[in-house]
Amino acid sequence: MSKRLFAEFFGTFWLVFGGCGSAVLAAAFPQLGIGFLGVALAFGLTVVTMAYAVGHISGGHFNPAITVGLFAGGRFAAKDVIPYVIAQVIGGIAAAAVLYLIASGKAGFDVTGGGFASNGYGEHSPGGYSLQSAIVIELVLTAFFLIVIHGVTDKRAPAGFAPLAIGLTLTLIHLISIPVTNTSVNPARSTGVAIFQGTWALQQLWVFWLVPLVGGVIGGLIYRCLLEDKK
């Protein structure tokens, strides 16, 4: 179990550091910014690389919503859910701390004014989308994320391609929803940066725990009840 938890810690660290780091440090870099497309790709690449690196140790969740969704889908033991979630959240916070140390080394850095890649709705949505919009998109995207994860790890699926499919799905999710919520679908990712943003991000964090967890359960149950081979 200790190796599995360390794998989840490092995988979540890499996801938050790589994905949120690209948003904080590189998205709007003068003249050479990577923009939304680059940030979306960065999140996908973090999952691909760490799923291949440590997925064989822990299953490569790196996300409480995935852990809970896999439990709902009958793919994960109940006794391991809380330890996994704790390791993931600690990994996300550690990554945000390192990112803060780096970003604060630039003159004029403002963690509260800039948002620090935090998730939000209303006036804190990149596109000004409402709470309703945030709830719907996070719910739908997390549910479909879990359907994909269950599908590509099914015993009937081609072997060896799951990390690529999951990483590309996360890239697509970000391409759709960065303008709406800055894309969560991952409570550990949301928590790490929200702690350092420290104001509105913490106040709105409940949405990015509750909705992805519910979406994960829905996705897991859809695959288990409607798509799983019961033979």
Looking at the chain, the whole-number percentage of residues with pLDDT higher than 70 is 99
pLDDT tens for residues 105-132? Answer: 998 888 887 799 999 999 999 999 999 9
Look over the chain and give the mean of its residue pLDDT values, rounded to a whole number: 95
Question: Which residue, chain included where needed, has tokens 């803060």?
Answer: 100
CA–CA dist 175, 216 (Å, integer): 19
The total number of structural domains in the chain stands at 1
Task: Give, in degrees to the nearest 5, the angle at Cα 164 between 10 and 91.
Answer: 15
Say if CB 143 and CB 218 are below 8 A apart.
yes
For residues 188 and 169, give the distance between their C-alpha atoms in angstroms, rounded to a whole number.
18
Position 190 confidence tier, pLDDT thresholds 50, 70, 90: very high
Find out whether 171 and 40 touch, Cβ atoms under 8 Å. Answer: yes
Looking at the predicted structure, is the pLDDT value of residue 32 above 90?
no
Q: What is the CATH number of the domain that holds 74?
A: 1.20.1080.10
Range of the domain at 13: 1-227
C-alpha torsion sign, points 26, 168, 216, 93: negative
Q: Residue 73: pLDDT above 90?
A: yes
The residue count for the chain: 231
